[in-house]
Structure 1
Amino acid sequence: MPEKKRGPMKLSEIGTSKPSPAKPRATQDRPTPAAPEKNYQTRPKPRPKQVIQAEDSPNPAQDLLAKAQQLRAQKPTNDLDFEAPDTLDQERQAEVDANIQSGTITLIEVQKKNKKRFNIYLNGQFAFGISENTLVKFALHKGQELDTDFVKDLKEVDKADYAYQLAVRFLSHQLRSEKEVRDKLKDEDIEPAVIETAIEKLQAVELIDDTVYGQSYTRTAMNINKKGPKMIERELKNKGLNDEEISQSIAEYDQDVMHENALDIAEKYFQKQLRKASHRNAIQKTKQYLVQKGYDSDLIQELMRQLSEDNEDEDQEMAVLLKDLEKYMRRYQKLKDKDRTFKVKGMLYNKGYSSELINQAIETFEENDY
């Protein structure tokens, strides 16, 4: 019987229709297979195969060892007696070097990293590099014949020119002493003889003059860094200047400027120390600082007397003392009162406070119950 066609579903039927139940699948009871019994019997170990080796069979390791021992026994005791078969003998090597260092210029090209240096090719092979000055001085050109002696002289001149140009660039930033220029050239692995030639040339054109350098250095240190004369002397000595050159340089230091510089440094440093130390300690530390800056002891004593008289402020010193007293009282609070007071007094006295001022501070401390 043909299946009856069904028309479109009505709105009232939405959600009311039930799906037809699925037909249950027929199942059969299958017996569960029994687990196989474990056999804990150990299998017998296989017997090792017997390897039968002939008595006269070759052993590669023993053969190599024997050969090594033979070669070691044959090694010459003196390395000079040993000749490598692939190396050239000395005469042939010298001949090859001579061919490279002499011949016809086949190419002159500018170096890639330094446009002021040129590569010279002899007989189609690179031979050496030279500077632009050396190239112009010897008027080198393509097709020119060069012998070994000429190339040797050419290289010596080029080394001197290279050292000279290096020193000129070093001097272009600021004045330098002769010792500084020498040290720079040594750091660049320039030969000592070449350094001497470069120094003589620099002195001839007055690019190196230690007296002029020392005077300029003194003026800069005096006006900008406010260094004292003794400090400048030490620094010029480290720069390689001799005693006469140093004396002429220090003569540039104006006495009035020296007094103004020392007073300015002393006032600033002294006020800074007064904010955290006793009056006596502030004076002592300021003296030490002026000595380090290179000023004369007589000038320092004069300045410190003036500063001490102008800055006698007991209230300020008492305020600093009370801060130190409170700090030490907290540090030694585990001690008994008598022991703590004795310990703190010693600490404050070592910091430069007077005994009278310390006793006043302790009374103030106890009254206010810090």
Structure 2
Amino acid sequence: MAKLTKITTQKKHKNRYNIFLDRGQGEAYGFSVDEDVLIKYRLQKNMELDDATIEALIQTDTLHKSYTLAINYLSYRMRSEKEIRDYLNEKEVDSEHIDEIVKRLYDEKFLDDQEFANSLVRTRIMTSSKGPLLLKKELLEKGVSAQQAEEALTHFSFDKQYEKARKFAEKKLKNGGKKSFRQQLQNLQQTLMQKGYGGEIIQEVIANLPEDEEEGQEWEAAVYQGEKLLRKFERKTEGFELKQKIKQGMYRKGFSFDLIDRFLDEYCEE
């Protein structure tokens, strides 16, 4: 048996207390506990503690510290169960304690994977241009089940997907640079796929974009790309062969034959 001889407040952590014990060889530091543990077990001077009780107090305090870590981690934003488990594993928390902490967090409504998934989808809709396929991938990576992910994605309706994809497409086209309208559309389709939008949404967006490219802008792009091709090939070839290489290059870049012929007439000497 050991007698509890003194309780002192830690200097750096005012809610933690050092417990001093006398095991028959004089007073010495025994262990430390959080204020909640101190109060729960009514620790006070002159109490008699056996080894089993001391070990139980230490384990209880360790569990409490780990639980506090989890609560602090949750204070910044909602987390999935997998995120909590991964975080506590990184902090080298005992696996049995992790299970107990996770159960307690569920019981106290601090943990709910379905609500976490719903919240993440709502947030991404407001703050990102990601489509539903990317959002589902993100949810699955965070440990949310496929069923929960599908449920959360019901918040991302077809109309909302279309609206976000359309705005992204219009912005992308405005910043298309010196590319043909056709090439911009091809790049846009690829980008929307990479963003996680499905084929139906992409087709709907593309179908509702302006059908006719702006003539002046398209001509500027044709001149820019044509001159690049001209500089590339004029040192290697000339005449008909040079024109053919430029024509082929411009066609691959999405320009119409009318614009290609106009460029060749105005910029390539016979």
Q: Give me the identity figure in percent.
A: 32
Task: Give the whole-Å Cα distance in 2 for the aligned partners of 1:286 and 1:336.
Answer: 34
Structure 2 stretches lacking a partner, 5+ long: none
Q: Which moved more, 1:206-215 or 1:288-297?
A: 288-297
Residue in 2 aligned with 1:27?
none
Matched, 1:156 2:59: yes
User: 1:242 deviation in Å?
Assistant: 0.6
Candidates 101, 106, 117, aligned match of 2:5 = 106
Aligned-partner Cα distance in 1 for 2:92–2:181: 56
C-alpha separation in 2, matches of 1:111 and 1:330? 76
- Partner residue of 1:323 out of 224, 229, 249: 224
Q: Which AA in structure 1 matches 2:187?
A: K
Aligned AA (1:331): K
Give the whole-Å Cα distance in 2 for the aligned partners of 1:120 and 1:179.
Answer: 36
Q: Is the 8 A contact 1:322 1:361 kept in 2?
A: yes
What TM-score, normalized by structure 2, do the two folds share? 0.91
**What corresponds to 1:185 in structure 2?**
88
Contact 1:120 1:126 in 2 (8 A): yes
Instruction: Identify the match of residue 263 of structure 1 among 162, 166, 177.
Output: 166
| 1:242 counterpart = 2:145 | yes
Selected match of 1:252 from 148, 155, 160 = 155
Counterparts of 1:115 and 1:347, CA distance in 2: 74
1:345 corresponds to: 247
Once the 2 structures are TM-superposed, how far is the Cα of residue 237 of structure 1 from its aligned partner? 0.6
Q: Which consecutive aligned stretches of 4+ in structure 1 deviate over 4 angstroms post-superposition?
A: none
Deviations 1:58-113 (A, max 9, x none): xxxxxxxxxxxxxxxxxxxxxxxxxxxxxxxxxxxxxxxxxxxx511222222233
Which amino acid in the other structure matches residue 251 of structure 1? T
Deviation at 1:142, TM superposition (A): 1.7
Q: How many angstroms apart in 2 are the aligned matches of 1:245 and 1:366?
A: 61
Per-residue deviation, 1:229: 1.6
Question: Take 2:266 and 2:16, find their aligned partners in 1: how far apart are those partners?
Answer: 82
For residue 127 of structure 1, report the CA deviation from its aligned partner.
1.8
Task: Work out the CA distance in 2 between the residues paired with 1:189 and 1:113.
Answer: 23
Matches of 2:190 and 2:13 in 1, distance apart? 52
Higher alpha-carbon deviation: 132-141 or 357-366: 357-366
Say which one has the larger Rg: 1
| Partner residue, 2:237 | 336
Whether 1:365 aligns to 2:263 is no
The answer on 1:176 being equivalent to 2:176 is no
Instruction: Report the number of matched residues.
Output: 265
* Unaligned 5+ runs, structure 1: 1-101
User: Which residue is equivalent to 2:103?
Assistant: 200
- Cα distance between partner residues in 1 of 2:90 and 2:205: 45
Alpha-carbon deviation of 1:191?
A: 0.8
Any idea what SS the aligned residue of 1:346 has?
Answer: helix
Give the match's secondary structure for 1:104: strand
Partners of 1:214 and 1:263 in 2: CA distance: 25
Q: Deviations over 1:239-288 (max 9, x none)?
A: 11112211221112233222211111111112222x32111110011111
Structure 1 residue 349 displacement after superposition: 2.5
Distance in 2 (CA, whole Å) between partners of 1:117 and 1:333 is 80
TM-score between the two structures when normalised by the length of structure 1: 0.68
User: Do 1:104 and 1:144's aligned partners in 2 also have CA atoms closer than 8 Å?
Assistant: yes
The amino acid that maps onto 2:135 is: I
**How far apart, CA to CA, are the structure 1 residues paired with 2:258 and 2:31?**
84
TM-align CA RMSD: 1.9
Letter in 1 for 2:15: K
Q: Evaluate the alpha carbon distance shift between residue 343 and residue 366 of structure 1 in structure 2; reply closer, same or farther with a 3 A threshold.
A: closer
Deviations 1:94-138 (A, max 9, x none): xxxxxxxx5112222222332222221212212222111111111
Alpha-carbon shift at residue 308 of structure 1 (Å): 4.6
**1:292: which partner in 2?**
194
Contact 1:283 1:308 in 2 (8 A): no
Match of 1:224 in 2: 127
In 2: Cα distance, 1:294 partner to 1:139 partner:
57
CA–CA separation in structure 2 for the residues paired with 1:278 and 1:139: 78
2:178 to 276, 281, 290: 276
1:248 maps to a residue whose letter is E
